[in-house]
Structure 1
Amino acid sequence: MVALVAIWWSVVLVLAPEPFLLPGPDRVVLALIRRWGDLWPNALVTLTEILFGLVTGILAGVATALFMGYVPAASRVVTPFVVVLQSMPVFAIAPVLVLWFGFGLASKIVMATVIIFFPVASAFHDGIERTDPGLLDLARLYGAGRARTLALIQVPAALPALVTGLRMAAAVAPIGAIVGEWVGASSGLGLIMMHANARMQTDVMFAALALVVAMAVVLRLAADLLADRLLPWLDETDR
């Protein structure tokens, strides 16, 4: 991050672009301080949307992966729907979700859920499917049923894959909320960005973007902390 900021500042010093094209880091920091009274309440709104979307997306993804793991034949039916849901452009479905769920938190939470759902469901299900066949044979030898095999062998074996999905989800979580706010919202950092862009206040837009990046970094660190709690037996190379 320090290197990127240094490169950014060097470009501004050497090329001297107009501030509305590329403001320097100093202008962005000043805008962040000057507009903090407007930015932090909207940042709380966006963070609320992200957190709710993250929780619902993770729960939906885990439930879907468990269902496909418990009923292997169902994966042939469910997987195409999951892929179709992920392949739809975010900007294409955002207006429809705003139309269905309104301009409040609900549409942004649904948008974040849709984006977060796929990496969690896909990674966790892949981990369940890749369980060591020797362990599955051992479970059958001891007469374990499908539910016990899933709960005691496949789910623990798939936890590293689930953590990978959580890390991916934490990185993309802000996208759904911001896109939803761009399409239609009464508050949020996405709305601040839209207004700043229309007024050519690029420094304010970058300040709002810096807050979004900070949220993504914190969520990623939280996912790493969760990995340390869930998988204390793994070393860094296995993760």
Structure 2
Amino acid sequence: MIRHLKQHSLVFLLLIMWQAVVGFGLVPDYLLPSPWQIIWAFIDDIALLGMHAKYTLWTAFLGVVIGLILSFVLAILMDLSKIFKELTYPVLLLNQTIPTIAIAPLLVIWLGYGILPKVVLVVLSVFFPMTIALLDGFNSIQKEQLNLFQSLKATKYQLYRHLKIPSAMGYFFTGLKVALSYALISAVIAEWLGGYHGLGVYMTRVRKSYELDNMFAVIFFISVLTLMLIALIKLIERRVLRYYYVK
């Protein structure tokens, strides 16, 4: 509790210093808007930001769901077959080394300006951390537990249903929190390069008109949305892990 109060006090102090620097003219407000200007810009455009946020969140949601399904399938296949893992793992690593901003224009050229290239970019961004997290979770089970299930003649389905997947839940939620932060960023980046709706489109428009107060407003708005989604995942994580532990 005390630690959180100290963190909030530090943020509040930084905002006061920021306001003072701009207010006393040390930095012109057309280069760095004050926090007060950013707040008013957000209030003035809150309806428009909310409309654009719906499209960005929907894109991120679809990408995360598809990435989640692919991650579970891929992680189980890699866990079942060492040969498949050896063939697939380098491809996963290669995908992770490609910058999102570099592949986004290609997806727009190939798939158009609709929602499809944006969802694909989100999927490419999120399924790697979730797949690796699930693999680590599958490998975290103790050898004695595995031997017990094998001695009881458990099927592959029973092994994953009652041992491996429950053991991987903690790892999975850790990967999911990382993936969510990637998801929103990837959706916004894809919207920069082409589209009709979304927070990325809004950012492009206010940047071209040099409305820096609105630019800062949408940046902070995206940060708040990401923190809210991570907090929601933490709440779901506590419920799910409590269910597994009690059971």
* TM-score, normalised via structure 2 length: 0.88
CA deviations 1:26-85 (Å, max 9, x no partner) are: 101110111223222111111111111121122211221122123333111111111111
Paired residue secondary structure (1:17): coil
Matched, 1:171 2:181: yes
Is the CA contact 1:70–1:147 (under 8 Å) kept in the aligned structure 2? Answer: no
Alignment counterpart, residue 42 of structure 1, candidates 14, 33, 52: 52
Cα distance in 2 between the residues matched to 1:141 and 1:234: 23
Cα distance in 1 between the residues matched to 2:180 and 2:13: 26
Quote the RMSD (CA, aligned, Å).
1.9
Q: How does 1:46-61 map to 2 (within 5 A)?
A: 46-61=56-71
Is the CA contact 1:116–1:172 (under 8 Å) kept in the aligned structure 2? Answer: yes
Corresponding residue of 2:30? 20
Displacement after TM superposition at 1:219 (Å): 1.0
Corresponding residue of 2:3? none
Q: Which runs of 5+ in 2 are unaligned?
A: 1-6
Cα distance in 1 between the residues matched to 2:72 and 2:206: 38
Corresponding residue of 2:212? 202
Is the CA contact 2:19–2:36 (under 8 Å) kept in the aligned structure 1? Answer: no
Corresponding residue of 1:154? 164
Distance 1:116 1:100, change over 3 A: same
Displacement after TM superposition at 1:88 (Å): 0.7
Is the CA contact 1:94–1:111 (under 8 Å) kept in the aligned structure 2? Answer: yes
Matched, 1:9 2:19: no
| Percent of aligned positions that are identical | 27
Corresponding residue of 1:231? 241
Matched, 1:120 2:130: yes
Letter in 2 for 1:100: W
Alignment counterpart, residue 105 of structure 2, candidates 95, 107, 121: 95
* TM-score, normalised via structure 1 length: 0.91
Cα distance in 1 between the residues matched to 2:30 and 2:133: 41
CA deviations 1:137-184 (Å, max 9, x no partner) are: 112222223333233211111111111111111222211101101111
Displacement after TM superposition at 1:130 (Å): 2.1
Displacement after TM superposition at 1:5 (Å): 4.8
Q: Matched residue pairs, number?
A: 235
Corresponding residue of 2:72? 62
Q: Which runs of 5+ in 1 are unaligned?
A: none
Letter in 2 for 1:9: I
